[in-house]
Amino acid sequence: MLEIKNLHVKIADEEREILKGLSLTLPKGEVHAIMGPNGSGKSTLAYVLAGREDYEITKGDILWNGESLIGMEPEERAAKGVFLAFQYPMEIPGVASLTFLRTAANAVREARGEPEFSTPEFLKLIKAKAAALNIDMEMLKRPVNVGFSGGEKKRSEILQMEVLEPSLCVLDETDSGLDIDALRVVADGVNAMRSKERSMLVITHYQRLLNYIVPDKVHVMIDGRIEKSGGPELAHELETSGYAEYQGKAA
Amino acid sequence: MAAVQETIDQVRKIDVDQYKYGFETKIATVKAPKGLSEDIVRFISEKKGEPAWMLEWRLESYRRWLNMVEPKWANVTYPKIDFQNLYYYSAPQSTEGPKSLADVDPELLATYAKLGIPLKEQAVLAGVQGARVAVDAVFDSVSVVTTFKAELAKAGVIFCSMSEAVREHPELVRKYLGSVVPQGDNFYAALNSAVFSDGSFVYVPEGARCPMELSTYFRINEKQTGQFERTLIIADKGAYVSYLEGCTAPMRDEHQLHAAVVELIALDDAEIKYSTVQNWYPGDKTGKGGIYNFVTKRGDCRGRNAKISWTQVETGSAITWKYPSCILRGDNSRGEFYSIAVSNGYQQVDSGTKMIHLGKNTSSRIISKGIAAGHSNNTYRGLVSAHRKATGARNFTNCDSLLIGDKCGAHTVPYIEAKNASAHFEHEATTSKISDETLFYCRQRGLSAEEAVALVVNGFVRDVLQKLPMEFMAETQKLIGVSLEGSVG
């Protein structure tokens, strides 16, 4: 279970606060969506959960299965099951995607006390997962995200997520840059990973993605706080009325 | 006080761990007195039982050296070297050379083990049948183990120490020694010509293809001893040879001078591939200690369609001054230079190549990848020139620099001279930085900061890594990771 308690966050070396007392509880096995306008702090929340260093937590706590994540290195969090699907995945020239996947998988497996994948075992796993995501093995021989289309990048993120077997998935604007077919493929991949053992936080700007990944709960984030929470129907309300109502309240 | 001592011990331990090849082997050695003079040159020559012509050659080099000054144009700084305060000769006592492995000093074998010499080569050293890499191990200047001579001899290949070549093949040595790097070529080459201790000699006869990769491990061991290796490789018409040179050195307080000379000669249709992995002690975290590496490496494509290819991985030394070059004399000859230079801590690297196009339709290719971390400085310095008669000369150069952190420097100094209007030279250069975003991305996927840097850097150098012989590839990937330890976080 993820518990975010009265979280205050600012950019390191700056005064401006981005998260202003955000609280959220995401029980095990549930999928929650966070929706909000640009600049409300959604991506900051994703980065802070994953442990990016450019932010400073001034108040509050983040508990993952009862343990505080604050002060933990990004790779330790990854070992504890935290996975962030990036809005803008980074390019790594010269490193084949397959090499990257295997290095990452073995790093988290080692940290979790699991044995390394053998080569045949790993290739078998990747072939099966890649096929489901409509990923060509040829694509995995190309360097990580270099020259990938928007859709390829996002599918590659989901493949990484499947291989690393996280227990907390944070998806940051996974729908951005996707056409409708790619969106369906990505959503199918995410839905296939839904399980009683896994919590997911889906961050999105538009309701569209939530037609495919139907959340258990929707939270509306405005100016660094959760302003309203509700069921999936809340997403539809937002789609028609926009965020203006909430923004007015915040201001 | 106990706590203080504990701290000291702890720090010492960390230092040793950071340079895992930092250890010393206790082997009795014979040394010449300190300093350099005609007498010392005579002493070295006599110790090695050299003929008069060799001594004369050394003495002439020495006299030239006396009139030369140290080059100052490289982008490196270091305290003045007192050439009279160095030893110019040291050799393990068993200069006769062991007849079998049982005669080899066990400490020496232990050293090989610590160096992580690939199992394949260890097997060769241990006499296991079927292992296929010949190792001419240079241990503090004198070759003590040479293997596979018989099989090489079957192919007509001569692979021996320079001292042996001077004794056994004087006609070849006299013909080729100094023919690519003349005695007075530069300050360090002249010094080397005067006092060179030993090195490898390879001759591949006409039409022969060397049946295995030749490999030499250099190792600096004796305190304050300059190492002056001399390597000479000749590929006769239509011959092919691939040569690997790998280096590590023990930990040291004082700076050590290393001034090697490597000469390659490729005749008509011959090909020489020369690969180096250099991992000498780079100095501690504050820049103290470390090897000074002033090397002259040059290949001469003397015949038509000759090809010489240099591949180097430079991760060690406090100072690297090294420009493996190709003289493209024969028509249609081809030169290649593939380089990875990693610098960390306070290392200074000034390295590159020269491609001198003299013959017609000659071509050359330069791929250089410089990685600078810590407080280091990494300079690529290259010359591509086409002589007036070098019709149809072609060159492609690509220099990429990668910066890690904000205290290091990367510099590119390319010289391009075309005296023939038909020359076609291309030059590409990029400088980039490993971004925090990229590191975060990798760490989010479970890699530690250091693993992330190693992964990104290995990606950056991939084009060059692929040029290395298989034996070196995996080793090199690890070495790059080790070299960049402590560069982040």
* pLDDT 10s digits, B366-385: 999 999 988 999 999 999 99
Asked if B442 and A92 come within 8 Å (Cβ–Cβ), the reply is yes
* pLDDT-based confidence at residue B197 (cuts at 50, 70, 90): confident
Asked if B459 and A84 come within 8 Å (Cβ–Cβ), the reply is no
Residue B100 has pLDDT above 60, yes or no: no
- Chain A residues touching B435 at Cβ < 8 A: 90
Interface of B with A in 319-338 (CB under 8 A): none
Asked if A94 and B458 come within 8 Å (Cβ–Cβ), the reply is yes
pLDDT score at B85: 83
pLDDT score at B30: 66
The span from the CA of B79 to the CA of B87, in Å, is 18
Asked if A107 and B437 come within 8 Å (Cβ–Cβ), the reply is no
| Alpha-carbon distance A246 to nearest alpha carbon in chain B (angstroms) | 32
Residue percentage of chain B with pLDDT more than 90: 46
Pairing, β B334-343 against β B230-235: unpaired
Amino acid at B31: K
Asked if B446 and A95 come within 8 Å (Cβ–Cβ), the reply is no
Asked if A104 and B445 come within 8 Å (Cβ–Cβ), the reply is yes
* pLDDT-based confidence at residue B92 (cuts at 50, 70, 90): low
Interface of A with B in 162-191 (CB under 8 A): 164
The span from the CA of B442 to the CA of B440, in Å, is 5
* pLDDT-based confidence at residue A7 (cuts at 50, 70, 90): very high
Nearest CA in chain A to B432: A93
**Structural tokens at position A247:** 């923004």
Vertex A108 angle, CA A102 and A114, to 5°: 95
For chain A, give every domain's residue range: 30-38+72-250
A30-38+72-250 belongs to which homologous superfamily? Answer: P-loop containing nucleotide triphosphate hydrolases (3.40.50.300)
Residue A5 or residue A208, greater confidence? A5
Note whether ipTM > 0.90 here.
Answer: yes
Interface of B with A in 458-477 (CB under 8 A): 458-463
Give the C-alpha distances (Å, rounded to integers) separating B242 from B192, B218, B263, B467.
Answer: 24, 17, 14, 12
- Chain A residues touching B451 at Cβ < 8 A: 103, 107
pLDDT score at B471: 66
Enumerate residues 6+ apart whose C-beta is below 8 A from B160: B136, B143, B146, B149, B168, B200, B201
Distance of CA B157 to the CA centre of its chain: 22
Enumerate residues 6+ apart whose C-beta is below 8 A from B105: B27, B92, B94
* pLDDT-based confidence at residue B33 (cuts at 50, 70, 90): confident
Strand partners, A65: none
Distance of CA B410 to the CA centre of its chain: 21
Asked if A90 and B462 come within 8 Å (Cβ–Cβ), the reply is no
What is the pTM for the complete model shown? 0.80
Asked if A107 and B459 come within 8 Å (Cβ–Cβ), the reply is no
Mean pLDDT to the nearest integer, A115-126:
92
The span from the CA of B82 to the CA of A73, in Å, is 49
Cα-based torsion angle of the residue sequence A50, A31, A185, A38 in order, rounded to the nearest 10 degrees:
-60
Residue B189 has pLDDT above 60, yes or no: yes
Q: How many CA atoms lie within 13 A of B489 on its CB side?
A: 14
Write the pLDDT tens digit of every residue in A183-198.
Answer: 898 899 899 999 999 9
Q: Which of A52, A78, A93 sits opposite B459 (nearest CB)?
A: A93
Place of tokens 């039982």: B49
Contact B438/A at CB under 8 A: yes
Enumerate residues 6+ apart whose C-beta is below 8 A from B61: B183, B184, B190, B191, B193, B194
Enumerate residues 6+ apart whose C-beta is below 8 A from B77: B348
Residue B111 has pLDDT above 70, yes or no: no
* pLDDT-based confidence at residue A206 (cuts at 50, 70, 90): confident
Contact A243/B at CB under 8 A: no
For helices B52-66 and B187-195, angle between their N-to-C axes, nearest 10 degrees: 150
Task: Give chain A's radius of gyration (CA, Å).
Answer: 18
The span from the CA of B110 to the CA of B91, in Å, is 18
Query: Most B CBs within 10 Å: which of A48, A95, A117, A164, as the mutation test of the B interface?
Result: A95
Query: Most B CBs within 10 Å: which of A91, A109, A144, as the mutation test of the B interface?
Result: A144
Q: Dihedral sign, CA of A47, A48, A53, A54?
A: positive
Residue B103 has pLDDT above 80, yes or no: no
Contact B385, B418 (CB under 8 A): yes
pLDDT score at B357: 97
pLDDT score at B8: 44
- Chain A residues touching B437 at Cβ < 8 A: 90
The span from the CA of B74 to the CA of B58, in Å, is 27
| Alpha-carbon distance A93 to nearest alpha carbon in chain B (angstroms) | 6
Vertex B162 angle, CA B156 and B165, to 5°: 45
Contact B434/A at CB under 8 A: no
Distance of CA B302 to the CA centre of its chain: 22
pLDDT score at B98: 44
Other Cβ atoms less than 10 A from the Cβ of A106: the count is: 17
Query: Minimal CA–CA distance to B141: which of B258, B292, B244?
Result: B258
Asked if B435 and A90 come within 8 Å (Cβ–Cβ), the reply is yes
* pLDDT-based confidence at residue A13 (cuts at 50, 70, 90): confident
pLDDT score at B81: 84
Residue B462 has pLDDT above 70, yes or no: yes
Mean pLDDT to the nearest integer, B430-455:
92
**Structural tokens at position B185:** 């070529």
The span from the CA of B10 to the CA of B97, in Å, is 41
Contact B230, B265 (CB under 8 A): no
H or E segment to which residue B241 belongs = strand B240-248
Contact B109, B125 (CB under 8 A): yes
**Structural tokens at position B96:** 């006769």
| Alpha-carbon distance B202 to nearest alpha carbon in chain A (angstroms) | 36
